[in-house]
Structure formats: structure tokens, C-alpha cells
Copies of this chain bind each other. A is one copy, B any other.
Amino acid sequence: MSSSDRFERPIGRSPTTYAPPPAPVGARFSVCQEITVLWGDIDALGHVNNTRYFGWLEETRLAYLRLIGLDLSTGAPQKPVLASTSLDFLRPVFWPDTVRVEGKTTRLGRTSLTMDYRVTSTSQQAVVATGSAVVVLLAPSTNRPAPIPDVIREAIRRLDPDARDTL
């Protein structure tokens, strides 16, 4: 079922739900960040603005990149950049609340990897968004894709052994 289909038929579980809650059976994530929803994250529609979710994903992505030992400082030999990202918004998020953002690598290539994310609202006790992102490592001197170093690759394998290999 595509994300657009989801909205093409009546859904009636709850007045505060605009999509059926997904069933995250068997989901296992390797990194998790707790993030406070700020009042300023709320937009004119009264719920958290979509742009803020991408900041939450980024926070969890950076935590993951630190966890696998990637050097994030300015002079590092590789620079991780975002090649693409997407999100399905399942339920609105309100203030005050905290969200739990989980992530894991689901694909590991030669110079890039794909991460999947799940955002859960503490006050709603429900998954509010799911998404993914493709990260590519660049060599700062050339801005061309650079191979993921072996030590980093092994750290990813240990954390996320189920990641699909596209080397």
C-alpha cells in the first residue's frame, strides 16, 4: 500500500488519527535518540512542522555515525552527506511531548548506506512517522564519493547484521 493509497479510503479509528497506526512487528533498531518537542516546532496548523522531523532524523543519523566511529570533525578524511531522504507522516505530533527516534542501517554499499527510521511519540505511545535516508561519504578534497573505510564497515555489520549488502 503506497502512502497515497492510505488516504484514499475512510479511516475511522480515532478522531485524532489520520492514518492507521502501523504494526512495527519484529522491528529492531540499533540507535535511539530521545528528543524534546519544542513549542516553536509547532506551526500554524497546530502540530509539529514537517521540517522538524527531518532534523530529528538527522540527530539520530549523526548519533549513529558517531557510534560506528566516523570522524565528524572538520578535517576528517570522509564527509557524510545526505543524498536523499523520505518520510511518511502517520500521526500529527503536539506540544508538549518527547519523541523517540530510532534508526538502523538497512543497506550497505561501497560508498553509501541506507538508514531506516521510526519516530514514536511518548505521549501518544504510537509510531508517528517512518522514513529513510541515503548517506554517501565524500572525500572533502574532491567532493567525490569515497569508499566506506573497512573499520567503519565492520562496525556497521556488527550493529546491523541484517543490512542488505550492495557492495
Among the stretches A6-14, A117-125, A149-157, the one at the interface with B is: A6-14
> Is residue A50 within 8 Å, beta carbon to beta carbon, of the partner chain?
yes
Would you call A16 and B51 a contact (CB within 8 A)? no
Please provide the chain A residues from 17 to 54 with a CB less than 8 Å away from any CB of chain B in the complex. Answer: 17-19, 33-36, 38-40, 42-46, 49-52, 54
Please tell me if A79 contacts chain B, counting CB pairs below 8 Å.
Answer: yes
Task: Say how far A11's CB is from chain B's closest CB, in angstroms.
Answer: 6
Residues of B within 8 A of A136 (CB): 7, 18
Per-position contact with B for A55-96: 1 when CB-CB < 8 Å, else 0?
A: 110110011000000000010000101111111110010011
Which 5 residue pairs of A and B lie closest in terms of their CB atoms, listed nearest first? A86-B86, A3-B84, A7-B136, A42-B44, A7-B112
